[in-house]
Structure 1
Amino acid sequence: MNAARILIVPGWRNAEPEHWQSLWADRLPNAHRVEQGDWLFPRRQDWVGRLADEILASRGERVVLVAHSLGCMATVHLPPEAAARVSAALLVAPADPERRAQLADFAPVPHQRLPYRSILVASSNDPYCPVRLAGAYARAWGSEFLRLENAGHINVASGLGEWPQGLQLLAQLGVDIDPAELLRRAA
C-alpha cells in the first residue's frame, strides 16, 4: 500500500472536536481537514472549489477522501480534473440536499459513477438522509454500500468515538494504517 494524503471533508456546521472525523484528523498520518469559509451557510461553488484546490495541491500523492454528510455532496460535485486525482473515498452519512432548504445549493445530486473506488456508509435511522436514498446514491456512484443499524447520523450523538469500524473501512480502501495500533495509541 502506498502512502496517501487523507483529506477529511466535514459536513454542514463542521465536525465537533469529539467527532470521529476530528479525532482521525488529529491521529492519522498524512491527514488534513478541509476547512470551509462558511460552515453555516454553505455554497456549493465555494465548498467544491475549496476541496478541489486541496486535492490539486496534493501533487504526486495519492488522495483519499473521508467525507461526512454535506462533505459527501461536495465530493460528488468535484470537477473532473480534481476527481481524477482521487484514488478512493469513504462517504459517510450523505446529506439529502433536496429535502433541506439550508443545503439546497448542492441539489440536484449527481448520479454519475465515481471514477475511483468508494465505500458509502449509511444508517438505518439517519434523520437527515433515509437509508433507501443513501442506497440509491451508492448504486448511482458505484460505491460499495454498508448499512449500519440504528447509528443515527454517524456523528458524535451516535456515540462512535474513534469509530474503529470506520478505520477498518479506510484500511480496506488501501490506506496504510493499522486501526488497532491507532486505537491503542489513542487510549
Structure 2
Amino acid sequence: MSHVPRVLILPGWQNSGPEHWQSRWEALYGDERVEQDDWQHPRRGDWMARLEEVLLADERPALLVAHSLGCHLVAGWAEHSQHTGRVQGALLVAPPDCEREDFPPQLHNWRQVRRGRLPFPSLAVLATDDPYGSLERGTELAQQWGSDLVIAGARGHLNAASGLGDWPEGRALLDQLSRST
C-alpha cells in the first residue's frame, strides 16, 4: 500500500466554481474532487455515503480538503464511519454556522452540528469577517473537533470572491498538516 496520500477536495453547498482555490488545486496538483449528486439540495447522509464510497475505492490514505459545508461533511462522516483510519488529516476551511437563524432552508438537515473530536489531525482556517459564521463560532467548532486553528485575517468566506487565486498559503497549510501526520 502506498503511503503517499491522495488529496480529496470536499466543496460546500453549490460546489466550487472554476475560480475557487479548490478547483485551481485540482488543476495544479491533480487533487480529486468528491462529486456529489445534488449540490443545490445537499442531504447529509447522501454526501457522507459518497465520501465513504470514494475513500473505499482506493487503498491509499487520504488528506481531506473541505470548504464551508464540506467541513460539516467531514465531522458528520467521521462520527459514523468505520474507516476513519484511511484519513491522515483534514484541512477545514471556513466552516459555516449551521445554527444561524438565516441559514438557507435547503440546508435544513445540516442544522444539527456534529461536535465530536475528529479521530485524525485537522487544521481549521477561519477568517475574521466570514459572512456565514462568526470567528467566535468557528473557533468553538475547531475546539470541539480538536482542530488546530489558523486565523486568515479579513478574507471573507475564503472562497473565489475572497480573491485568493491559487491560495498558496492554504497549500502550505495542507503540506504542514501532511508532514505532521
TM-score w.r.t. length of structure 1: 0.88
1:158 and 2:162 equivalent? yes
Aligned to 1:173, what secondary structure does the other structure show? helix
Aligned to 1:85: 86
Shift of 1:113: 0.7
Aligned to 1:95: 96
Q: Measure, in 1, the Cα distance between the counterparts of 2:29 and 2:15.
A: 18
Shift of 1:150: 0.9
| Superposition CA RMSD, Å | 1.2
Shift of 1:149: 1.3
Shift of 1:144: 0.4
Aligned to 1:50: 50
Q: Measure, in 2, the Cα distance between the counterparts of 1:121 and 1:82.
A: 25
Q: Is the 8 A contact 1:9 1:71 kept in 2?
A: yes
Task: Summarize deviations over 1:129-161 as a string: whole Å, max 9, x none.
Answer: 111111001100110001121100000110000
Q: Measure, in 2, the Cα distance between the counterparts of 1:49 and 1:98.
A: 23
Percent identity, aligned pairs only?
A: 45
- Work out which of the residue numbers 153, 175, 179 in structure 2 matches 1:171: 175
Aligned to 2:28: 27
1:140 and 2:165 equivalent? no
Q: Measure, in 1, the Cα distance between the counterparts of 2:26 and 2:114.
A: 27
> Aligned AA for 1:13?
Q
Tell me how many residue pairs correspond in the alignment.
172
TM-score w.r.t. length of structure 2: 0.91
Q: Measure, in 1, the Cα distance between the counterparts of 2:25 and 2:113.
A: 27
Q: Measure, in 2, the Cα distance between the counterparts of 1:136 and 1:69.
A: 15
1:74 and 2:79 equivalent? no
Q: Measure, in 2, the Cα distance between the counterparts of 1:148 and 1:102.
A: 29
Q: Measure, in 2, the Cα distance between the counterparts of 1:138 and 1:123.
A: 13
Shift of 1:174: 1.6
**Structure 1, unpaired ranges of 5+:** 176-187
> Aligned AA for 1:63?
A
Q: Is the 8 A contact 1:25 1:33 kept in 2?
A: yes
> Aligned AA for 1:127?
P
Q: Is the 8 A contact 1:63 1:86 kept in 2?
A: yes
Aligned to 2:9, what secondary structure does the other structure show? strand
Aligned to 1:180: none
Aligned to 2:123: 119
Q: Measure, in 1, the Cα distance between the counterparts of 2:83 and 2:48.
A: 10
Task: Summarize deviations over 1:29-58 as a string: whole Å, max 9, x none.
Answer: 4x2101111111111111111111111222
Aligned to 2:113: 109
Aligned to 2:71, what secondary structure does the other structure show? helix
Q: Measure, in 2, the Cα distance between the counterparts of 1:155 and 1:113.
A: 26
